[in-house]
Amino acid sequence: MFPKGFKAGGIRCGLHKKEGKKDLALFISEVPASAAGMFTKSVTKAAPVLIDIEKMKKGGKISAIIANSGCANACTGKKGKTDALSVCSETEKEFDLQKNSVLCASTGVIGQYLNMNAFKSGIKKLKNALGSSKKNEEESVLAIMTTDTFIKKAFKKIKTAKGEITIWGCVKGAGMIHPNMQGLHATMLSFIMTDAEIDSKTLQKLLESSAQQSYNCVSVDGDTSTNDTLIILANGQSKTGKLSSADLKKFAKALDEVTLSLAKQIAKDGEGATKFIEIEVRGAKTKSDAKAIASTVASSPLFKTAVFGADANWGRVIAAAGRAGVEFDPEKTDIYMGGFLTSRNGMAVTFPESKAKKALQKKEIKVVIDLKSGKESSKYYTCDFSYDYVKINGDYRS
């Protein structure tokens, strides 16, 4: 499934405390690739994020991404940065890559240094683990997972006048998920590779726009990480040459599908989640109004626990909407939960409660908020708030 000219691999080197857990991944292109990226907006940026931002400012081509789980290399000061730089240069040396052509990413516990001995031995070990088979694909994603419970990946092929192009992407992230990246907004590690030929400036634009309708529409717990990283590499190895503007549109559409699929997978795998929730706000005056309301409802613990309890508690939906900082008329607003109209014009309607309860016991729940005041709409993806969220996060570090 990998685009042409890319390989990946994932191994265990001992960075993650869990016995046997793969913890080091490499995504590598056989030729230097155009790159674009988006990173956490947090003031407390982790060392790998700081390093990547600096590298990408220089605008050079990128050959590989080295990423680990188990340790976030965040809140680690100067030593953290030195370590992150060293991780990149060791990878460059080991795989005979140009200087400054490797990006790095880390996820895991905050405030601990990377185990550099383990890391260095891991880089050597990766040499024999690289490939483009389904096994390689899965191993690389497994190696960046933390509390994730399944492998999250997506791919898409596009036919252009000059041949086929592939986009492949993966994402890791189940907790500390909430919109807050530079330009974009999300919280996770996500790497996308394509064999299309696209310059890095165009790539950056496409990525930012694509993130707006995907990663930027996901919330698990309203928390934002120190390590959020989204990188796309385009190596041109499809040999289809520079894309025509029609093909570029096709590419953009396919990229949107890949990132949206990945974003939804994050919500489905939210820490402790038992249900995937799609919130659609319709009939808003502006897109940003719609998004602000959808985001506020998606982040409401009261709404999310109600969905966990399969309770068609539309009052919590409208209460959350009301505090989104957006002016709208609650007395014109309709709410649908699990396919049932639960309130019209801001007031209760009679609906079959037991049927609604059944609908809300399903794995995928849709909530629609129709403001009936305009033509704009926006969707947001989240999950319910369960006992297991508390369990997972009450125990995570210790």
CB 97, min distance to a second copy, A? 31
CB 94, min distance to a second copy, A? 29
The residue (of 48 and 169) whose beta carbon lies closer to a second copy is 48
Q: Is 187 a catalytic residue?
A: yes
Binding site for a second copy (CB under 8 A): 41-45, 72, 74-77, 109-112, 175-176, 180, 221-226, 299-302, 305-306, 308-309, 311, 313-316, 318-324, 326-328, 330-331, 343, 345-348, 357, 385-387, 389-398
CB 272, min distance to a second copy, A? 9
Q: Is 309 helix (H, G, I), strand (E, B) or coil?
A: coil
Tokens read off for 182: 């530079």
Task: Say if residues 267 and 218 touch (Cβ distance below 8 Å).
Answer: yes
CB 90, min distance to a second copy, A? 23
Task: Say if residues 365 and 275 touch (Cβ distance below 8 Å).
Answer: yes
18 to 151, 181, 219, 246, 266: CA distances (angstroms)? 18, 29, 27, 48, 22
Give the helix/strand (H/E) hosting 31.
Answer: strand 24-39
The residue (of 194 and 378) whose beta carbon lies closer to a second copy is 378
The residue (of 27 and 303) whose beta carbon lies closer to a second copy is 303
Tokens read off for 137: 């694909």
Task: Say if residues 188 and 170 touch (Cβ distance below 8 Å).
Answer: no
Dist. CA 111–CA 121, nearest whole Å: 22
Given 160, 187, 226, 382, the catalytic residue: 187
The residue (of 40 and 200) whose beta carbon lies closer to a second copy is 40
Closest CA to 176 of 44, 51, 281, 271: 271
The residue (of 241 and 374) whose beta carbon lies closer to a second copy is 374
CB 7, min distance to a second copy, A? 33
Dist. CA 5–CA 132, nearest whole Å: 9
- DSSP for 191-228, written as a single string: EEEE-SB--HHHHHHHHHHHHHTTGGGB-SSS---S--
The catalytic site residues sit at 187
